[in-house]
Amino acid sequence: MTSSEIILAVSHLKVSYDSIQAVDDISFEVGKGEIVTLIGANGAGKSSILRAISGLIPYSGSITYAEKDLKNIAADQIVAAGIAQVPEGRGIFGNLTVMENLKIATWQNKDKEKIAKDFENVFSLFPRLKERSKQQGGMLSGGEQQMLAVGRALMTDAPMLLLDEPSMGLSPVLVRDIFKIIQDINRAGKTILLVEQNANMSLHIAQRGYVLETGRIVLSGTGKELTGNPRVKEAYLGG
Ligand SMILES: Nc1ncnc2c1ncn2[C@@H]1O[C@H](COP(=O)(O)OP(=O)(O)OP(=O)(O)O)[C@@H](O)[C@H]1O
Ligand SMILES: [Mg+2]
């Protein structure tokens, strides 16, 4: 890999649900400051990998972040250690306002000035959220909820973001916007692990990627290499 410092290392990860082996001996790493993407079809195991990293499901194998072993660490402590997840399907609080949803993510931060700055940052990335700040989360459009979910992860201050299909359900214009924002966030210093079915866009913005099929990594390479790979072209880029 090109990056000098490995920040997240996943080694021989296995996740099973009853009899289903959802993740079957997967190893990969993410360098500090990188965008790394995991692509794969429905059911390939992408979300399971992110859930394991976030401490939401049991697994075997090892996951380390900044050389800290994450096994047996509670989910909230993993956020505190520096990893925030934007879950698939958004996971925002429907009966809380946009402001309240964002505020919740700052619970570990006591610095009022810093929180105000973070609000400003999120609202400048997503002006729509500013307009809707007093509206209930559940009343937002799908795309707006997606923005709120990303905004909330940014409010945590975590240096690493796990994004689970941030482009899902968005119009083509919003898809372009969200990928641009992901790039901007990355340039501002965040390390990003991006799970996507939109292989085209995600390989375009990622330094490196891994292709998953039924719980295994079948290909890996730079974003460019994978975009040019005939197998990826055929299966994920529409031929
Ligand atoms: N809670 C669960 N109980 C039982 N099986 C599950 C559970 N969650 C996921 N699975 C199964 O594990 C496999 C991997 O699921 P996962 O959600 O990780 O896939 P994915 O790559 O994120 O798919 P998608 O692109 O559709 O979101 C699938 O076969 C799925 O049916
Ligand atoms: Mg998924």
- DSSP output for 150-165: HHHHHHTT-SEEEEE-
Beta bridge partners of 15: 23
The ranges assigned to domains in the chain are: 6-236
Predicted TM-score of the model (pTM): 0.93
pLDDT band at 238; cut points 50, 70, 90: confident
What is the atom index within ligand 1 of the atom nearest the CA of 15? 12
Report the number of secondary-structure helices (H) and strands (E) in the chain: 10, 10
Q: Residue 125 and residue 195: Cα distance in Å, rounded?
A: 21
Q: Where are the alpha helices (DSSP H) in the chain?
A: 46-53, 75-81, 98-104, 112-125, 127-131, 142-155, 172-187, 199-205, 223-228, 230-236
Dihedral Cα 58, 186, 174, 150, nearest 10 deg: 40
Query: Residue 37 pLDDT > 90, yes or no?
Result: yes
Mutate to test the pocket of ligand 1, among 17, 37, 50 (most ligand atoms within 8 A of CB): 17
The per-residue pLDDT for 27 is 98
CA of 48 to the centre of ligand 1 (A): 6
CB-ligand 1 contact for 188 (6 Å cutoff): no
CB-ligand 1 contact for 20 (6 Å cutoff): yes
Q: What is the mean pLDDT of residues 147-172?
A: 90
Q: Residue 167 and residue 163: Cα distance in Å, rounded?
A: 10
CA of 23 to the centre of ligand 2 (A): 12
Say which ligand is closest to the CA of 22.
1
CA of 56 to the centre of ligand 1 (A): 14
Residue with CA at minimum distance from ligand 1 atom 17:
47
CA of 120 to the centre of ligand 2 (A): 31
Mutate to test the pocket of ligand 1, among 13, 20, 53, 194 (most ligand atoms within 8 A of CB): 20
Query: Residue 103 pLDDT > 70, yes or no?
Result: yes
Q: Residue 164 and residue 157: Cα distance in Å, rounded?
A: 18
Higher pLDDT, 179 or 237: 179
What is the atom index within ligand 1 of the atom nearest the CA of 40? 21
Q: Residue 104 and residue 111: Cα distance in Å, rounded?
A: 14
Q: What is the mean pLDDT of residues 204-213?
A: 96
Q: Residue 28 and residue 2: Cα distance in Å, rounded?
A: 14
Q: What is the mean pLDDT of residues 141-165?
A: 91
Q: What is the mean pLDDT of residues 117-125?
A: 92
The per-residue pLDDT for 3 is 47
Query: Residue 2 pLDDT > 60, yes or no?
Result: no
**CATH architecture of structural domain 6-236:** 3-Layer(aba) Sandwich (3.40)
41-82 tens-digit pLDDT: 999 999 999 999 999 999 999 999 999 999 999 999 999 999
